[in-house]
Amino acid sequence: MTRLEELGLSPAGVEALRAILELQASDPTAPTTVRDVAAAVDRHVADSLVALELDVVRDARRIADLGAGAGWPGLALAAALPEAHVALVESAGRHCRYLERAVAAAGLPNVEVVHARVEEWTAGAAAHDLVTARALAALPVLCEYAAPLLADGGALVAWKGEVPAEEVVAGAAAAEIVGLAPVDVRAVAPYPAAAGLTLHVFRKVAPTPDRFPRRPGMAVKRPLGVRRSGR
């Protein structure tokens, strides 16, 4: 049994992800530095699928993966959850073109590539029960990105390393502003060499105010929940 087959996927899921990994290894436009297939099984696939430990991920049926880049975790979740619809939201056109090739190579009918900035993707508003983001931004920024896309009771799951205490505090403050609440921080070890990896989970507990999303760039330029000096 190969390492990929050990991750608990169906045979169809294994074949879909094997096709993606082979494309990623050979396509120079793939937006990742991890091209070796064996290394990518751990660094990308296992790291993505570790979130299946969470009920909010296993039960999801409409998923938006923000800043999709090379497609992780969205592609792995689509292979593991064939009944879920997965939107890979990516603002860079060259990355979207690669993602379209990856989806075609894998033959995943439940994946949609969305070429848009998160703040401008109105078609996704309040439509998702799960938003994912892997190594994309600080927690306050992710909360602002995710909240308008989540249906009531939906969840944001953010893949992070070790998060500074001040970011955790700011993330909780930002979450309250946009109608989310922090509910879990799960330490995870998706592969032997992994260290300090965490999944941060927020739940949609109240309506997001109409002023969100703010215009593109504002979530990063003026993040919610962050104390600023008086100068």
Q: Give tens-digit pLDDT for 35-47.
A: 999 999 999 999 9
Average pLDDT over residues 196-216: 97
Q: How confident is the model at residue 142 (pLDDT cuts 50, 70, 90)?
A: very high
60-74, 143-157, 216-230: range with lowest mean pLDDT: 216-230
Residue 51 has pLDDT above 90, yes or no: yes
The length of the chain is 231
Name the pTM for this structure: 0.96
Residue 229 has pLDDT above 80, yes or no: no
Going by the DSSP 8-state scheme, the letter that residue 135 receives in this structure is S
Please give the Cα distance from 91 to 97 (Å, whole number): 11
Residue 131 has pLDDT above 70, yes or no: yes
Residue 7 has pLDDT above 60, yes or no: yes
Model confidence over 91-125: pLDDT tens digits? 999 999 999 999 999 999 999 999 999 999 999 99
Reading the block at residue 105, the tokens are 């190579």
Alpha helices in the chain (DSSP H): 11-26, 37-40, 47-49, 55-58, 74-80, 93-106, 139-146, 165-178, 218-221
Model confidence over 79-90: pLDDT tens digits? 999 999 999 999
Going by the DSSP 8-state scheme, the letter that residue 29 receives in this structure is T
Model confidence over 167-182: pLDDT tens digits? 999 999 999 999 999 9
Closest CA to 23 of 14, 35, 41: 35
Residue 102 — left, alpha, or beta (φ > 0 → left; ψ -120 to 50 → alpha)? alpha
Residue 137 has pLDDT above 70, yes or no: yes
| Contact criterion met (CB below 8 Å) for 118 and 89 | yes
Residue 72 CB neighbours (<10 A): 26
